[in-house]
Amino acid sequence: MKFRTETRRRAVEHTVDGITHTVNKPYTKRVPVLPADWDSRAIKAASTLVLTLTAIAIVWSTVSIGSLLNGGPGYAAAALFDISWVTVLLLEWMARFDPAKRTFARNMGFVLVAITAAAIFWHGMLLHSVALAVVGAAVSLIAKALWMAIFKHVDKPLSDEDRQWVDAEISKANAKLAVAGVRRRVAVAEVQARAELLAAERLLAELDDEANTAEQIIEAEPIPVPLSSPNKVREPIEPALSIAELARQQVTAGASNKDAAQEILRRLPEANPESVQATVRREARRVNGYL
């Protein structure tokens, strides 16, 4: 077994002139060196080579299918062919512990790479080159086959019991994500509801302030009563009702806010229309039980 020397530090007490402090003192230690993991290095090397071949396949198919689509924007569309099945490869790797999802991703990859190979083969035949058609189509197929071989090698088989255990853990994690999403939506809805209630309460408070101000103005301003002619017999004057009382009578009788305000202004033409409307609204809320 091989060893290497490492320099490390540890805390020790150091005293100078009767004063002690904790300092870091370096020391050396021999530690064993793990043997090289050639299996891991081989997998990384193989993955790098296949990744390089995949890049070549993408470039080849993009140029070939782009020419088939008359170039220009056709090259952008051509890149979709290989990028699609390479994306499905990533999904297949992510679903390695879910047989259903992994099978779907693998089958979709077969379909997409077959479409890409067919388009490249078609381009080669249009150029009257069987070799170009066959070899060009085989590039993408070989890249796909090599990725399947790598996935097969690094695959970790699970027993039926272990797979059920993994499925249960994944289900538990998915349930937590679902609950978190629902709680987040409920929290957002509650915040919106509270904001609307606060806005409504603030509006009612402002309307109450306007109504109180209007009532104070009306009470402060006396309403002139026309004197009867001296030649006529004075008729008994009915006790005057306040605007609030008139508004309460109209609303209780079933009149709308607009009709109640018009009736009050007809009886009291000297009153302020805005004050009358504010008083009618306040009395309507009070009669209806909102205040």
Domain boundaries, the chain: 3-32, 38-154, 197-223+239-287
The residue with greater pLDDT, 225 or 133, is 133
pLDDT digits (tens, 9 = 90+) for 218-233: 555 554 444 444 444 4
Q: Encoding tokens for residue 209?
A: 């302030």
Beta-sheet strands, E only, within the chain: 3-16, 19-32
The residue with greater pLDDT, 235 or 289, is 289
Whether the per-residue pLDDT at 160 is higher than 80: the answer is: yes
Average pLDDT across the chain, whole number: 81
CB atoms inside a 10 Å sphere around CB 111: 12
Whether the per-residue pLDDT at 22 is higher than 90: the answer is: yes
Whether the per-residue pLDDT at 86 is higher than 90: the answer is: no
SS3 of the chain: helix, strand, coil, percent, to 5: 70, 10, 20
pLDDT of 229: 44
Chain-centre distance for alpha carbon 136: 43
3 bridge partner residues: 32
CB atoms inside a 10 Å sphere around CB 251: 21
Q: How far apart are CA 90 and CA 101, in angstroms?
A: 12
pLDDT digits (tens, 9 = 90+) for 41-79: 888 888 888 889 888 888 888 888 888 888 778 888 888
**pLDDT category of residue 13 using cuts at 50, 70 and 90:** very high
pLDDT digits (tens, 9 = 90+) for 250-274: 878 878 888 888 888 888 888 888 8
Whether the per-residue pLDDT at 238 is higher than 60: the answer is: no
Least confident of 1-5, 138-142, 206-210: 206-210
